[in-house]
């Protein structure tokens, strides 16, 4: 066996122990050969630093890894860097995440040479990689930041930390369609071109050396690992790098034919172009041009032969040969199998196969040239790559059959008559065969040219449609869509676009392509007509599109794309008809829903169908599905996302959507006071989020969401009396929040959430109305603001904390304390408002402070100051509502109107308060009419409550009774006694005594608040004055209820003495006894709130 064969056989053995045993046998009695093979294996190992060689091959220097200085380990310091986590190991180096603290704090990647690997050869290779990276400055290449040596003398260098996935894994995980994959591939080409311009050939371009990580939601490519790079026209190091005999530099599946040769001195930048072609092939098809299993089993000579002589199939051909696996490949590219091969066929085939030419002179000259051709494809321009010419293919044919030509020539030269005749006949036959082959090739070429012309015509038409679609959508949605009314210029643009789309809608022919273009033309014409106000014509356009799609679905029942488009059109019609033809709109909703349900059942791995189904469910009006269950949307969406998450356990996107649907449903159930159902769903959320953290732990948002759900469970469980489990969820939230605050020290929201959580827990009361909790929140916010004095975010939190504390103090009627906090908030706000990121929010926050000041002054009955501050707040809120801003402004406006009613009622000007009550109720009603499931609807109930009380005070009880009916409808089932008692009060005052007495009988049977008894006493007092025959009976009941109320701890003397509803009782001796009893036991006065 030759040295080369022995080396190749050893490389093919995966186990280090088996390799040692094999070499012991093969090299028995020949220690020199064994030493040579060991050195070759070690050199081969360091040729690709991200491969993982066996530990016993790590010896190439003066000492072995186990008898020299120890390897670097987590916790060690290397120069100014502390090693935190090992993330990679190559043949010559270890890669760590390291923390740098001086002169800046940041995390970096540090690569240090392994112990025992510091031979001249390996050190030279290591320094070459460092120098190659140092030469480059490109956003898509990992940068070198620093370099040095450990105390033991082992060199290291420091790079920016790239936490990403291999480009193929990222694209598959995100299910990126081909166009988005091509856009990422262009970034790779640009990075490689930069390296080439710096005189560096990478020589090992493959998916694991091209990482993708999202930055601000945008995927960014980083090319890494220049460990086998080669310099062009310069030296990367002053140390000699010797490429040993038979050493293959690179990864065979991604290697160009010339790179596979024993002597690689002739490799140039076009070897990287070949590797880029292999990468593009894999991005499009999910596999490499040559079979990986075949390469793993083949000897080096066989690999070289394959790379030199065999032509791989075109990407489209490979896709059609994938069989059952094509479904999965297509799903990971966001399309169906029938469309994927068609998409790749043609120009993308040409681009890839030009990269993979055996003759490097026929490849793209540069990586930039390849990038530009891909960009031409993306924008719809003609690409430079093209199919091989006839002459080139004929030449290839003759080259492959040159043996037969030689045989014919030999026969001609034999010279003897009979033999010559035979040779002549053989030559003639061969000539005839060659002529026939040339004629076949010419015919095939002409057929291909004709097909190419037809394809070019279709392509040109498709590009025209795509260009028109893009320009129409961009202008209509981004520019015109935001305008309330169309001007002359906008109408002119839409009219011109309408005319162009009408041309496509008039496309003749009954072929599939023609009908598809015609259908899209109808849809776009309908959209434009609707935007121009031609509503009836728009609906007719949509119906015409439906008719075209119906024929396409009938002719191509196995293609989901046309049914998907039909569903979209049904949804568009439903939206357009909703206000004017509801029954027909409902039918279109149902059809859309049924089509998408069918598609998701038939193509369960196609995400676009599921996403459209979720959108359809979200848009359907309640009566179409189940009006009795307002949460049906959340339920159905949660069911869908459970199915998707189960079918795609490695895809975090479905878990994110499932968590969102569960959270929406939990919130909706909590609004309906279904605590048990809401808590159960929150527990489900914890399970989903914990899976997300395990699956995608690098994303801190999942942990933040998990901490938030634990906090919600803490609130809900404590409210329902499950203190033990509540505390467990508090501790879980605290642990997650604490870890986040420690890990992301500059992420202000994590510190703020941790402060709030601790403060609310220490206050022992949920945050909405906890003075103690808000005091602790304010203290935490002020401490954080002092720690970060130059950061407006923390100053803003201190202003917000002042505001929340002041509002809690107002709710407790501590008006002086509230006024102090509002004034402090106003002073801080004035100081820091200019630094806020959003001037709009600064204005809104200022208006809320003004409203609070008005409420505080109103509570203190200081009318001029209250009116001044409330007027300032109303000016802002009314202006924002008039401008059509979101529901929060209308909510703020309603609260400001409510503050005005408080002011006027506090000075007993109830007649002036009534119009402000009307404004408050109108503003808040508009909020919940627009968003029926919006939380906080008790604010509308409170506004109705106070308006009803004002109507009662003004003697307008006939108007008050229906107000109380609305209040009762909005009150939870266990809390209806008080509003029902007040309704009875208005019934009695309106002279409807029998109804009032019947109502209070039900109230007294309910185990509700004791304050309802005071109101019921008022009902009986009024009834005693309205029904002479039962005066004594009703009066005695009233006094008895007041006595129970007083003995329960309520001692509001002022109300007892002045409430007009109790006037019929004040001459009675038993009433005076109750009054004296309350007076003797009364603490400081406390008013009754009805």
Q: Is 483 annotated as a binding residue?
A: no
- Locus of tokens 């995440």: 97
In angstroms, the CA 253 to CA 206 distance is 9
Q: Which two tokens stand for residue 227?
A: 């460990």
User: 38, 204, 1059, 1061: which one is catalytic?
Assistant: 204
CA 876, 882, 886, 887 torsion-angle sign: positive
CA distance 984 to 1001: 10
- In sequence order, what are the residues at sequence separation of 6 or more whose Cβ sits closer than 8 angstroms to the Cβ of residue 1046? 1074, 1077, 1078, 1081
In this structure, the strands spanning 218-223 and 230-231 are unpaired
CA 803 to chain centre: 33
Active site residue 204: yes
Q: Which long-range contacts (CB under 8 A, 24 or more apart) does 738-747 make?
A: 739/703, 740/700, 740/703, 740/704, 740/707, 743/700, 744/700, 747/700
| Residue 4 buriedness (CB in 10 A; 0-12 / 13-18 / 19+) | middle
Q: Cβ–Cβ contacts within 10 Å for residue 588, how many? A: 24
Question: What gap in Å lies between CA 276 and CA 500, rounded to an integer?
Answer: 40
SS3 149: strand
Other C-beta atoms lying within 10 Å of the C-beta of residue 641: 23
Q: How far apart are CA 85 and CA 9, in angstroms?
A: 36
Residue 296: which residues within 8 A CB-CB, separation 6 or more? none
First to last CA, the chain: 103
What residues are paired with 160 via a beta bridge? 108
DSSP 141: B
Per DSSP, the residues of 369-434 read HHHHHHHHHHHTPPPS--PPPHHHHHHHHHHHTHHHHHHHHHHHTT--HHHHHHHHHHHHHHHHHH
CA–CA dist 515, 525 (Å, integer): 15
Euclidean distance between CA atoms 848 and 850, whole angstroms: 5
Give 80's DSSP letter.
Answer: T
Strand order across the 218-223 sheet: 165-166, 210-215, 218-223
Q: Which helix (H) or strand (E) holds 1001?
A: helix 993-1004
H or E stretch including 523? helix 512-531
- C-alpha–C-alpha distance, residues 164 and 182, integer Å: 18
Look at residue 155 and give its three-state secondary structure: strand
The C-alpha atoms of residue 372 and residue 364 are separated, in whole angstroms, by 10
Using the Cα atoms of residue 1026, residue 1027, residue 1031 and residue 1033 in order, give the sign of their dihedral.
Answer: negative
**Dihedral of alpha carbons 724, 726, 732, 735, sign:** negative
CA–CA dist 577, 624 (Å, integer): 14
Cα distances (angstroms) measured from residue 455 to each of 335, 449, 460: 21, 9, 8
Tokens 């103690």 appear where? 772
Find out whether 957 and 1018 touch, Cβ atoms under 8 Å: no
3-state DSSP call for residue 62? Answer: coil
In contact, 520 and 540? CB cutoff 8 Å: no
- CA-nearest of 622, 638, 620, 618 to 630 is 622
Q: How far is residue 656's CA from residue 30's CA, in Å, rounded to a whole number?
A: 63
Cβ atoms within 10 Å, residue 265:
7
Residue ranges of the annotated binding site for ATP are 111
Residue ranges of the annotated binding site are 111
Catalytically annotated residues: 204
């Amino acid at each position: 066996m030759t040295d080369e064969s022995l080396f190749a056989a050893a490389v093919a053995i995966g186990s280090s122990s088996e390799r040692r045993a094999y070499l012991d046998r093969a090299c028995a009695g020949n220690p020199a050969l064994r030493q040579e093979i060991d050195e070759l294996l070690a050199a081969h190992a360091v040729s690709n630093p991200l491969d993982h060689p066996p530990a016993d091959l790590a010896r190439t220097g003066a000492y072995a890894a186990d008898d020299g200085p120890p390897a670097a380990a987590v916790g060690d310091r290397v120069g100014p860097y502390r090693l935190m986590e090992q993330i990679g190991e190559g043949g010559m180096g270890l890669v760590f995440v390291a923390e740098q603290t001086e002169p800046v704090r940041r995390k970096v990647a540090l690569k240090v040479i392994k112990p025992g690997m510091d031979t001249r050869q390996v050190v030279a290779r290591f320094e070459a990689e460092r120098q190659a990276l140092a030469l480059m400055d490109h956003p898509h290449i990992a940068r070198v930041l620093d370099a040095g040596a450990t105390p033991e003398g082992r060199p290291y260098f420091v790079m920016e930390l790239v936490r990403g996935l291999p480009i193929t894994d990222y694209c598959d995980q995100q299910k990126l369609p081909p166009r988005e994959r091509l856009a990422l591939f262009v970034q790779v080409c640009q990075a490689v071109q930069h390296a080439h311009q710096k005189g560096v050939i990478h020589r090992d371009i493959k998916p694991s050396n091209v990482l993708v990580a999202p930055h601000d939601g945008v995927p960014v490519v980083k090319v890494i690992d220049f460990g086998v790079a080669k310099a062009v026209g310069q030296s990367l190091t002053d140390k000699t790098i010797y490429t040993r005999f038979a050493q293959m530099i690179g990864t065979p599946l991604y290697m160009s034919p010339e790179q596979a040769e024993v002597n690689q001195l002739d490799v140039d930048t076009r070897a990287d172009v070949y590797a880029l072609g292999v990468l593009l092939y894999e991005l499009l098809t999910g596999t490499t041009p040559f079979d990986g299993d075949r390469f793993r089993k083949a000897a080096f000579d066989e690999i070289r032969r394959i790379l030199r002589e065999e032509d791989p199939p075109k990407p489209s051909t490979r896709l059609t040969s994938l069989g059952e696996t094509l479904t999965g490949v297509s799903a990971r590219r966001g399309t169906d199998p029938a469309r994927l091969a068609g998409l790749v066929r043609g120009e993308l085939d040409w681009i890839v196969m030009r990269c993979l030419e055996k003759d490097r002179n026929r490849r793209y000259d540069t990586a930039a040239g390849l990038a530009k051709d891909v960009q031409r494809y993306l924008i719809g321009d003609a690409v430079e790559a093209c199919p091989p010419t006839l002459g080139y293919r004929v030449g290839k044919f003759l080259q492959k059959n040159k043996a037969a030509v030689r045989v014919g020539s030999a026969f001609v030269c034999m010279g003897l008559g009979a033999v010559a005749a035979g040779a002549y006949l053989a030559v003639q036959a061969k000539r005839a065969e060659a002529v026939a082959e040339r004629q076949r090739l010419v015919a095939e070429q002409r057929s291909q040219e004709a097909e190419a012309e037809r394809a070019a015509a279709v392509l040109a038409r498709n590009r025209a449609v795509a260009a028109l679609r893009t320009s129409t959508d961009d202008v209509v949605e981004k520019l015109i869509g935001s305008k309330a009314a169309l001007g002359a210029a906008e109408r002119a643009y839409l009219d011109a676009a309408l005319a162009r789309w009408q041309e496509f809608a008039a496309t003749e022919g009954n072929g599939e392509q023609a009908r598809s273009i015609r259908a899209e033309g109808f849809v776009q014409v309908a959209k434009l007509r609707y935007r121009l106000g031609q509503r009836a014509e728009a609906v007719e356009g949509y119906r015409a599109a439906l008719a075209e799609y119906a024929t396409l679905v009938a002719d191509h029942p196995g293609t989901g794309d046309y049914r998907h488009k039909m569903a979209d059109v049904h949804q568009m019609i439903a939206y357009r008809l909703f206000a004017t033809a509801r029954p027909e709109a409902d039918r279109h909703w149902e059809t859309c829903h049924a089509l998408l349900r069918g598609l998701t059942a038939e193509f369960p791995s196609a995400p676009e169908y599921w996403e459209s189904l979720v959108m359809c469910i979200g848009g359907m009006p309640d009566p179409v599905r189940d009006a009795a269950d307002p949460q049906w949307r959340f339920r159905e969406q949660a069911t869908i996302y459970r199915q998707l998450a189960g079918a795609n356990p490695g895809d975090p996107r479905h878990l994110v959507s499932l968590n969102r649907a569960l959270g929406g449903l939990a919130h909706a159930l909590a609004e309906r006071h279904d605590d048990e159902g809401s808590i159960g769903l929150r527990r489900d959320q914890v399970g989903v989020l914990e899976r997300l953290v395990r699956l995608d732990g690098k994303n801190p948002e999942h942990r933040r969401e998990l901490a938030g759900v634990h906090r919600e469970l803490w609130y809900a469980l404590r409210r329902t009396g499950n203190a033990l489990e509540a505390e467990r969820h508090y501790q879980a939230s605290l642990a997650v929040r604490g870890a986040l605050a420690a890990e992301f020290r500059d992420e202000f929201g994590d510190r703020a959430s941790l402060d709030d959580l601790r403060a609310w827990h220490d206050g022992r009361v949920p945050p909405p109305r906890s003075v103690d909790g808000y005091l602790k929140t304010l203290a935490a916010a002020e401490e954080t603001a002092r720690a970060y004095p130059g950061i407006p975010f923390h100053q803003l939190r201190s202003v917000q904390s002042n505001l929340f504390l002041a509002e809690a103090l107002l709710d407790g009627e501590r008006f002086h304390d509230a006024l102090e906090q509002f004034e402090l908030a106003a002073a801080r706000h004035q100081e820091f408002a200019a630094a806020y990121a959003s001037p709009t929010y600064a204005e809104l926050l200022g208006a809320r402070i003004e409203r609070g000041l008005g409420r505080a002054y109103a509570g203190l009955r200081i009318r001029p100051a209250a009116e001044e501050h409330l007027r300032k707040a109303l000016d802002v809120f009314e202006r924002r509502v008039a401008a059509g801003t979101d529901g929060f402004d209308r909510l703020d406006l309603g609260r400001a109107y409510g503050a005005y009613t408080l002011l006027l009622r506090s000075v007993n000007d109830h007649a002036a308060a009534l119009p402000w009550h009307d404004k408050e109720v109108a503003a808040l009603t508009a909020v919940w009419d627009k968003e029926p499931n919006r939380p906080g609807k008790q604010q509308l109930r409170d506004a109705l409550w106070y308006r009803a009380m004002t109507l009662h005070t003004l003697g307008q009880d006939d108007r008050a009774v229906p107000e109380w009916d609305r209040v009762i409808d909005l009150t939870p089932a266990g809390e209806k006694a008080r509003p029902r008692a007040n309704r009875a009060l208005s019934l009695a005052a309106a002279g409807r005594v029998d109804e009032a007495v019947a109502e209070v009988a039900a109230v007294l049977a309910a185990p509700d608040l004791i304050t309802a008894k005071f109101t019921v006493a008022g009902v009986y007092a009024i009834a005693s004055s309205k029904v002479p025959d039962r005066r004594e009976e009703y009066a005695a009941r009233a006094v008895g209820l007041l006595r129970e109320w007083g003995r329960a701890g309520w001692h509001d003397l002022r109300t007892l003495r002045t409430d007009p509803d109790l006037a019929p009782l004040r001459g009675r001796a038993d009433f005076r006894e109750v009054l004296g009893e309350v007076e003797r036991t009364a603490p400081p006065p406390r008013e009754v709130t009805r």
